[in-house]
Amino acid sequence: MSTLDDLVPQDHLVRTLEATIDWKFIYPLVKSLYSDFGRCSIDPVVLFKMIFINYTFGINSMRMTGEEIKINMAYRWTKPKEEWIKDINPIIVGKTNYYLNVYKVLKVFEGHMQAHCVIRAMSKYLEKMDKYVRQRLRMCMIHKHPTVKKAYGMCYKWNIEFFARIGLIPSKWWFYYKMWGTYTIEKDVEYHMHRNKVDMEKRIQKFKELGIAFYTKKRLKKMDDSLSR
């Protein structure tokens, strides 16, 4: 499978820019302009990189820059997936540690409130966050016209086991690991893979009861396309 990293020449200027500039200085400068509430916004570094591309390559307007980024592989290149994982993991750990502080408070007041209900609610939220992170990473890893639909199609190949293998820290696993210390990431992957299998079997059975074929030619083609990328 060819990745976006394979398609960008090693001597391309975008690689030099990425290796030379530490873009993290942007975050504290724009922190006051962003809110912790609502939907996630576009990463400010992405916006600044668009401006750099605009000036560096002499593109006439920002609208044209956006169009160029859509069709030029080099402009969409930033770094390999391993580097993305390296940057994302500290954010996941930091976010999860906030919920661990809530757990510590619950332990202090144990017996005075239904702690297990709160832990279960936090666990569900962290699981949703893990799904979102994996989906966004799939989008980054699709080098040819990435879309949400294509990213969902790649869940067969780039699944939970794949992301665990390349080093992504699942927030839900980190949460339980820090609480009890014995919950390994292998157990977490095994649990989710088994649950996904059970959910799939239930879905197939429901289709059978309705008299509808689940593995249609169209569905099989999509699965085959995702696995062959």
pLDDT in tens, 82-106: 777 877 888 888 888 888 877 776 6
The structure tokens 């699965």 sit at 223
What is the model's pTM? 0.58
* Residues contacting 14, CB < 8 A, separation 6+: 8, 53, 74, 75, 77
Task: Say which DSSP state 60 is in.
Answer: S
Residue 16 is which amino acid? T
Least Cα distance to 143 among 68, 73, 53 occurs for 73
* Cα–Cα distance for residue pair 59/190, rounded to 1 Å: 49
The structure tokens 């600044």 sit at 48
pLDDT in the model for residue 228: 58
pLDDT in the model for residue 84: 75
* Residues contacting 109, CB < 8 A, separation 6+: 115
Token pair recorded at residue 174: 């980190």
Least Cα distance to 73 among 14, 33, 119 occurs for 14
pLDDT in the model for residue 1: 45
Token pair recorded at residue 220: 């099989």
In this prediction, what percent of the chain has a pLDDT beyond 90? 0
118-171 pLDDT per residue, tens? 778 888 888 888 988 888 787 777 655 556 566 666 777 788 888 888 889 999
Token pair recorded at residue 98: 């906030």
Token pair recorded at residue 117: 């209900």
In this prediction, what percent of the chain has a pLDDT beyond 70? 75
Task: Say which DSSP state 167 is in.
Answer: T
When computed from its CA atoms, the radius of gyration of the chain, rounded to whole angstroms, is: 21
pLDDT in the model for residue 154: 74
Token pair recorded at residue 152: 């969902």
Residue 158 is which amino acid? W
